[in-house]
């Protein structure tokens, strides 16, 4: 496993739509392991393949609910409600903005064994699933920010208030 370089906003790869994964290979399994390691090293709760320079429809999520999610070729099959709150991104470090996302989402995908799975999430898990899914479509959260981006503390994610 290895920590990969996270691409930052302005990198053209973050604007491209990702290609479906047709089969699990050793390289793809290494990518998934590297994505988890990279995400944890950066103190994130989700990471999509284009954020490490790979245009594959894969993302990983861990929101401290006791599960690690590997989502390959995901599709949103249901969403309900809304939640509005601060959101950040490993591809735009030190910034956050207010974004509205569904409060509930259900996704269908393949796991790391290329087996079909369905994942349902509310709150933070729903936000993370939708955020990472958007990366696979070439979209970043800044396109949804209500108001201005603000500086955040990289350690806590809390807004830095200049006095």
89 marked as part of a ligand binding site: yes
Q: Which of 75, 132, 155, 162 is catalytic?
A: 132
132 is catalytic: yes
Q: Which of 45, 71, 67, 43 is nearest to 57 (CA)?
A: 71
120 has which bridge partners?
Answer: 106
CA-based nearest residue to 145, from 83, 102, 98: 98
The β-bridge relationship of strands 95-101 and 146-151 is antiparallel
Q: Is 135 annotated as a binding residue?
A: yes
CA atoms of 58 and 122, how far apart (whole Å):
20
Distance CA 19, CA 22 (A): 9
Reference 49, options 58, 39, 37, 62; nearest CA is 58
Residue ranges at the known binding site for Fe cation? 89, 131, 135
Active site residues: 132
Residues that constitute the known binding site: 89, 131, 135
């Amino acid at each position: 496993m290895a920590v990969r370089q996270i691409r930052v906003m302005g990198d053209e790869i973050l604007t491209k739509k990702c290609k479906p994964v047709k089969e699990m290979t050793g390289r793809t399994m290494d990518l998934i392991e590297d994505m988890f390691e990279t995400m944890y090293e950066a103190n994130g709760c989700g990471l999509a393949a284009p954020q490490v320079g790979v245009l594959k429809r894969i993302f990983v999520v861990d929101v401290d609910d006791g599960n690690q999610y590997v989502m390959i070729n995901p599709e949103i099959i249901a969403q309900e409600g809304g939640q509005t709150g601060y959101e950040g991104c490993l591809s735009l470090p030190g910034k956050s903005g207010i974004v509205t996302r569904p409060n509930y989402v259900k996704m269908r995908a393949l796991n790391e064994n290329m087996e079909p799975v369905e994942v349902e999430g509310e709150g933070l898990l729903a936000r993370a699933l939708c955020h990472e899914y958007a990366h696979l479509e070439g979209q970043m959260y800044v396109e949804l920010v209500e108001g201005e981006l603000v500086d955040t503390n990289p350690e806590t994610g809390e807004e830095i208030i200049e006095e």
